[in-house]
Chain A
Amino acid sequence: DAKTTQPPSMDCAEGRAANLPCNHSTISGNEYVYWYRQIHSQGPQYIIHGLKNNETNEMASLIITEDRKSSTLILPHATLRDTAVYYCIVRVAAGANSKLTFGKGITLSVRP
Chain B
Amino acid sequence: GAGVSQTPSNKVTEKGKYVELRCDPISGHTALYWYRQSLGQGPEFLIYFQGTGAADDSGLPNDRFFAVRPEGSVSTLKIQRTERGDSAVYLCASSLAGTSDEQYFGPGTRLTVT
Mutual binders A and B? yes
> Residues on A close to B: CB < 8 A?
32, 41-46, 49, 85, 87, 91, 93-105
B12 within 8 A of A: no
Contact between chains at A96 and B98 (CB < 8 Å): yes
Q: A41-B107, A43-B4, A94-B99 are in contact. List 20 more A-B contacts (CB 8 A).
A: A32-B100, A43-B106, A43-B107, A44-B43, A44-B103, A45-B105, A49-B100, A87-B42, A91-B100, A93-B100, A94-B100, A96-B48, A96-B50, A96-B55, A98-B31, A98-B99, A99-B45, A100-B33, A100-B45, A100-B103
Q: Mark B56-87, 1 if CB is under 8 A from A, else 0.
A: 10010000000000000000000000000000
Contact between chains at B42 and A105 (CB < 8 Å): yes
Contact between chains at B59 and A99 (CB < 8 Å): yes
Contact between chains at B99 and A93 (CB < 8 Å): yes
> Residues on B close to A: CB < 8 A?
4, 31, 33, 35, 40-45, 48, 50, 55-56, 59, 91, 93, 95, 98-100, 102-108
Contact between chains at B41 and A100 (CB < 8 Å): no
